C-alpha cells in the first residue's frame, strides 16, 4: 500500500530564506507527483506536477524535483515571502486510480 510522508511537519523561517520541503513515498509505480498549497480553511491549489519521466519542474520561485527510484521529491522555495505561509502537501497517484496524500508541512515565513 502506498504511503506518503513529509518532513518537516512544521517550519518557521525569516523572510528571504531559501527552503526545502521533503516528500517520500513507498511505491515507485506512479504516473506523477503533485505539490499543493493549502491556506487555512481553503481548498488545495496545485503548484507543480512532475510526471514520472521528469526530474524537475519549475514555476517562478518554486522548483520541484523527483527521484522516483528512491521515492523522494523536494519542493524548493527561493527567497521566501510572508505570503508563502501555508500548508504544503504532496500527493502521488495510486496506480492512476486515486491519490495518496502526505500529512503536509506547515510553513510560516516571518516578516
Partner 1 sequence: DGGITQSPKYLFRKEGQNVTLSCEQNLNHDAMYWYRQDPGQGLRLIYYSQIVNDFQKGDIAEGYSVSREKKESFPLTVTSAQKNPTAFYLCASSTFTGLAVEQFFGPGTRLTVL
Binding site for partner 1 (CB under 8 A): 31-32, 34, 36, 41-46, 49, 51, 53, 89, 91, 93, 96-99, 101-104
Of residues 14 and 53, the one with the C-beta less far from partner 1: 53
Of residues 14 and 43, the one with the C-beta less far from partner 1: 43
- Chain mean position to CA 24: 10
CB of 18 to partner 1, least distance (A): 25
User: What gap in Å lies between CA 5 and CA 103, rounded to an integer?
Assistant: 7
Contacts of 29 (CB under 8 A, 6+ apart): 95
Amino acid at each position: 500500500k502506498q504511503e506518503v510522508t513529509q518532513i518537516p511537519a512544521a517550519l518557521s523561517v525569516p523572510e528571504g530564506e531559501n527552503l526545502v520541503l521533503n516528500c517520500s513515498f513507498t511505491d515507485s509505480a506512479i504516473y506523477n507527483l503533485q505539490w499543493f498549497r493549502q491556506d487555512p480553511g481553503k481548498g488545495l491549489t496545485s503548484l507543480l506536477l512532475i510526471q514520472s519521466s521528469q526530474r524537475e519542474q519549475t514555476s517562478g520561485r518554486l522548483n520541484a524535483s523527483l527521484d522516483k527510484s528512491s521515492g523522494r521529491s523536494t519542493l524548493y522555495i527561493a527567497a521566501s515571502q510572508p505570503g508563502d505561509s501555508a500548508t504544503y502537501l504532496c500527493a502521488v497517484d495510486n496506480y492512476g486510480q486515486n491519490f495518496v496524500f502526505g500529512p503536509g508541512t506547515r510553513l510560516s515565513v516571518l516578516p
